Chains A and B, each alone.
Chain A
Amino acid sequence: SYELTQPPSVSVSPGQTARITCSGDALPKKYAYWYQQKSGQAPVLVIYEDSKRPSGIPERFSGSSSGTMATLTISGAQVEDEADYYCYSTDSGSDQSVFGTGTKVTVL
């Protein structure tokens, strides 16, 4: 079955840039989506279609995709950005969707 691989954790100091990668064979053909999940809460969409930002999401969140890797960048990370982040996409050969393994971002 299709898999999306993320690093388990990323740690940055406040004001630094955090980059979270998501690797998947179908990413050259399929969009990546990124979700932020804070403890005890439902996930929130922060990036859709590789690089678009929903209304209400701070500009410090950006996304990109190249080849088999998508990247979520938090420029000038804030303490309130501490959360788990998941990428999401679809297999190119089927209609199977999948979430990435998840990355815990620590800002301290």
Chain B
Amino acid sequence: QVQLQESGPGLVKPSGTLSLTCAVSGDSISSNNWWSWVRQPPGKGLEWIGEIYHSGSTNYNPSLKSRVTISVDKSKNQFSLNLSSVTAADTAVYYCVKGFDLWGRGTLVTVSS
């Protein structure tokens, strides 16, 4: 059974960097899938952040591209999200996703001093 588990700080200071990791179990990060990050501010809709293939190829949301880095660690079978220069507007539940059909449970990240 494939599972995704997000982890990282639940509180980040303004202007800081948000860093999350998605641990993959039951499947290889090198399988034929794109691995994505999606976020959802409280009470709002879903926003696609970006995706990575195991080769390292990435695609990012143009509105976040200047602040986002998604990377993959094959040795740990996980992928990560870094979002720099955060503000309160980056407060959201962050989900990691395998392909189109498997989502992690999500983790709430609050940006506040």
Contact = CB atoms under 8 A, between A and B. Distances in A.
Interface stretch (A18-26, A66-74, A91-99): A91-99
A45 B63 contact: no
A97 B62 contact: no
Given A1-B62, A1-B63, A42-B95, A99 B104 contact: no
Nearest to A33: B100
B65 to A, nearest CB: 10
A10 to B, nearest CB: 15
Contact of B105 (A42, A54, A95): A42
Contacts of A97: 36, 48, 51, 59, 61
A102 interface: yes
Interface of B, helix, strand, loop or mixed by DSSP: loop
A99 B105 contact: no
A102 B62 contact: no
Leading 9 A-B pairs by shortest Cβ distance: A95-B59, A99-B46, A42-B103, A102-B45, A45-B101, A97-B48, A86-B46, A1-B62, A42-B106
Contacts of B62: 1, 96
Interface residues of B, number: 18
B101 A48 contact: yes
Interface of A, helix, strand, loop or mixed by DSSP: strand
A101 interface: yes
A44 B95 CA distance: 12
Given A43-B46, A48-B101, 15 more contacts: A1-B62, A37-B46, A42-B95, A42-B106, A45-B100, A45-B101, A84-B45, A97-B36, A97-B61, A99-B45, A99-B47, A99-B48, A100-B45, A101-B45, A102-B46
A7 to B, nearest CB: 13
Contact of A42 (B51, B61, B63, B104): B104
Residue among B46, B47, B95, B105 with the highest chain A CB neighbour number at 10 A: B46
Contacts of A95: 59
Nearest to A42: B103
Interface in B51-83: 51, 59, 61-63
